[in-house]
Structure formats: structure tokens, C-alpha cells
Chains A and B, each alone.
Chain A
């Protein structure tokens, strides 16, 4: 789409677009190209000499069982976050759609976690599950569950999943609620007249019509789990115990800033960039087309 009427000026458009261009060139494209270059270099620990090694860093990366494990951890983590987040918020949205009185009150409370920073969300959940003084871990103790996410990697994973889902539930909830409210009432009524009960109406009318929303949220939640949960991992478990909750983004940070392996970290950045590109393509190709029956 183009405008018919335009202004004429040789310099004004450049001036207008210059700030945005300056920022993206200096802080986006230059660093991204540096990551590409560094991913093919090997630097000694003091940064005094660099050597051109081609794809050696990538080969080293994919031969490193730690990196493969981090891939698996990230996949497991994002599947858990995306599915449980979507199921829980769909459940809440379906019932919120039915509630007439007090809907505003419920909605306001449910969107609050969106305002909470991921790192703060992690701190709240760590406090509840703290092995020595947490309220929930104390209660779990009465059921014979000995909670210690500092030692038990399954529990550490559960903790970051819970905190991440809690933080993301508002977002999913709002999109599901908007999706449900855009379904014409006449469709639901027609199904009701045909004798379909509430559960059947949900499965045969509402849920299929929500499939574009669900698919969109699936992509968004995977992106969220991959990239935006760094703060939750860093504040709650710091990738531990061992490396059992070190998702890919955490590993880039750790290897680059704590272990000072610049080449390896840059190679990991490049792999992450490819993942983002793939996810963005999926989002634009398929989400735009509206998955529907």
C-alpha cells in the first residue's frame, strides 16, 4: 500500500529516519555482525591474540554434551511453559467469559502478573518454595514431599516453570478472552438449540474457532520461554543445580560473561539468531494465514 499524496524534500526524510537508523546500526547490526565474526574466531583468555578458526567453534559446540543438554532442557522447559500456560489460561478465560457479575474484578486481578518483572516473579516464587522457610515447601513437607530446589533438579525445573507460567498467564488469558468474546453469540445459541451441552459446545464450536488464537499463543509462548525467561532462571536457580536448568539464553550469558569463552558464546548467539529467525518466519507465515477449520 502506498500513499497517493506525498511531501517533497531531499533531506527531510533522511533527517526523520536518522535516529532510528543510527540506533539500529550501532546497537543491532554492528553487534550482530560482530557475533558472526567472533563465532569464527578463537581468542585467548587475555584477549591479546585472535585466530581465525572458521566453523571450529560450531563444531566444538555441537560436540559438547553440555550444549546438547542445554538444548534438551530448553525444549522441555518451553513445552511445559507453553502447554500448561495455555491450558490454564484457556480454562480461566472460558469461565471468565461466562461470569457476568464481578467479571471486571476477576479480570483486573488476573492481569496483574503481567506488570511484575520476571526477576521479581522469580523472587516471589523462590520465597514461597524456599526449603527452610517457604510457606509452600513447609506445607508440602506435611504431605511427605521434601522440597529442595537447590538440590533436586526436577523441583528446580518445576519452580522456574511455575514462575514463568504465572507471569505469562495474564497475557494468554487476555487473548483467549478477546477471542471468546469475538465468537458470535448466534453460533453458541444455535448449538444450544440443537441440544449441545456446555462442554460439547466448547469442544465443537468455541475451541475450533479459537484455533488461530491458540496457535498464535503457542508461538508467542515458545518465544517467551526461549528468550524472556532469562531473568527467572537467573534469579531463581542460576541454571542449577549443576546445569540442569541452564536454558540456552542462560548459557550464552554464562559462557560469555562468567566463563569468558567469547568464541563459544558468539557461536551460541548465532545459533540463537537462527532460532529467532525460524520462529519469526513461522509466526508471519502461519499466524497470518489463520489456522482454521
Chain B
């Protein structure tokens, strides 16, 4: 038996509380700042307890205001842009990866090896290393400042394709035979057997890819120039352009909290899938 002692138990809790306090402090401070007026925050030291301006700050952030140092666009619109892009990226990635994994595992066709290899190589070409030319392609196709431009270049996914391929390989062959016996064609088998069997993998990938899509920064920074197509992550960056004193920090912090709300909810409510997704996608 491993010995248990009270002091060690207390030490463990103490370290955990310390860790949690440090990790959570920036979030707490953001919340406090979002409940005060901009003037109250600028007077150092700013208050460390929540104030009474919660509703008016969030209303101003969500629906826009007349003037300010940086961008003053309504955050509600940005959240919508972020949501649509994240959903298109997530659903798109999952759909095209399911289809290509199905083709690779269940069919024999010429150049299959090459296709598989090409998908694999995309792992080595993140947006960061090909920003200039990708921007040119998207701009030549007239896709700047559109949902298509925000999402399609990010939609291919080698990790999701591999994940589904690995999973399909473990599906018993008897299921294919049984489906054939019942007269089901390949698409019927895909729709009625394979996709329902993959739902745990799909849920896990959904969580990871939604966060990935929502938190995109470099690509939207290039692909959007008009305020009504800013995702919220870009919007918040444009808001702090005014410099220390002029920024309306209460609104910036309210926006920060609003920007992290959807992915945080996904992580907390789908914690089991989130952990599975993280582990699976790194295999």
C-alpha cells in the first residue's frame, strides 16, 4: 500500500489551488474589467472586485457604439462570422475526410497510393509556411472577404482522414458482406453502417476542429479587410489599436470573454470527447 498522509494531501491541494489561481487569474481579471467603466480601469491600480456596469459594457460590446479609439464594430456580428466559419470548417473537414477515407479503405483504384501520400504531405504545409502564395490564390479566385475565403483553404485535413482510415480498418469485413447480401450498394453501406459506427470519432473531432476553426487568426487576418467579415478574434486585435490610455479596456475585456465563451462551453460540456479528440488526433 502507498502511504497516505494528511500533510501530503494538503500539499497536493495547495499546489493545485495555486496552479488553478494562476491559470484562472487572467480570466478573472478580464471579467472584473468588463464590469467597470473605462475610466475606472485606467486609474491604476484598477479595482479587483466586480463592479456594477456589467450589462452596459456587454450591450455596448455586442451591439457596437458610436465612437472609440480602435474598431467599434458590433461584436454580435463578429461572433456570427466566427460561428459560421468554425462550423463550415468543422463540418467540411469531417465530411471530406470521411469520404476520402472511405474511398481509400474500401476501394481499389489507380494512384490510390499517390492520393494517400499527397494527403499525408499536407501535414507538413501549415498555413504559416505558405501564406503569401495562398493569399494570391484566394485573391485571384475573388474569395477575399467571403465565408468561402475564410473557410475553404483550411478545410483539408490529413489528421481527420487518418483517424477515419484507422477506424475503418478496424470495422469487421462481415459487415460489408452482410450489407451486400442485403443488396446495399457502397453509398448505402457508407451512410447506414459506416458513418453511424464512426460517431464517437466524429464527436471527438468535432470538438477539436471547432476550437481550431473558431481560434484561427493568421488566415482571417489576411483574408478579411472589411469590418463586417471580421471574426471576433481579429476584431479584438483591431480594438486594441488605440494604445494603453485610449483603449476602452472594459469593452475589450468583455469582447475577450465573449470570444472565448463558445469554445469554452464546447470544452467543458463535451470534456470527454475533447480529451479523446486530443489524444486521437495526435496518434
Contacts and interface: CB of A to CB of B under 8 A. Distances in A.
B18 to A, nearest CB: 9
Interface stretch (A9-17, A54-62, A77-85): A9-17
A130 B243 CA distance: 10
B214 interface: yes
Contacts of B15: 91-92, 95
B161 interface: yes
A142 to B, nearest CB: 10
A3 B105 contact: yes
A30 B260 contact: no
A34 B136 contact: yes
Contacts of B186: 7, 9, 12
A160 to B, nearest CB: 14
Interface stretch (B55-63, B72-80, B127-135): B127-135
Contacts of A128: 25-26, 29
Interface in B217-262: 217-218, 221-222, 233-234, 236-237, 240, 244-245, 249, 252-253, 256, 259-260
Contacts of A106: 16, 19-20
Contact of A235 (B109, B115, B136, B240): B240
Given A14-B109, A135-B45, A280-B124, A30 B133 contact: yes
A32 interface: yes
Contacts of B273: none
Interface string B123-164: 111101111111111100000000000001101100001000
Contact of B103 (A13, A95, A98, A216): A13
Contacts of B118: 21, 24, 29
A175 B223 CA distance: 34
Contacts of B71: none
A65 interface: no
A13 B123 CA distance: 22
B96 A20 contact: yes
A252 interface: yes
Contact of A109 (B20, B96, B236): B20
A35 interface: yes
Interface string A109-150: 111111111111101111110111111001100000000000
B66 interface: no
B116 to A, nearest CB: 9
A233 B275 CA distance: 28
A111 B20 CA distance: 10
Interface residues of B, number: 104
Contacts of A253: 131, 218
B176 A231 contact: no
A38 interface: yes
Contacts of A13: 103, 107, 109, 112
Interface residues of A, number: 98
B211 interface: yes
Nearest to A284: B123
B282 A17 contact: no
B205 to A, nearest CB: 15
Contacts of A188: 2
Contact of A114 (B1, B45, B96, B211): B211
B133 A231 contact: no
A171 B282 CA distance: 11
Given A21-B115, A35-B133, A123 B125 contact: no
B132 A234 contact: no
A278 B156 CA distance: 22
B70 to A, nearest CB: 11
Contacts of A118: 215, 217
Interface in B177-220: 177, 185-187, 189, 211, 214-215, 217-218
B156 A115 contact: no
B104 interface: yes
A124 B134 contact: no
A253 B11 CA distance: 46
Please list the 8 inter-chain residue pairs (A to B) with the smallest Cβ-Cβ separation, ordered nearest first. A31-B133, A231-B217, A34-B133, A117-B215, A13-B107, A16-B103, A115-B263, A13-B103
8 contacts: A5-B176, A31-B130, A92-B16, A118-B217, A120-B259, A138-B44, A234-B221, A273-B130
Given A98-B9, A120-B259, A131-B244, 13 more contacts: A7-B186, A16-B107, A20-B156, A20-B161, A24-B119, A29-B118, A31-B133, A95-B12, A119-B237, A128-B29, A133-B244, A185-B2, A234-B221
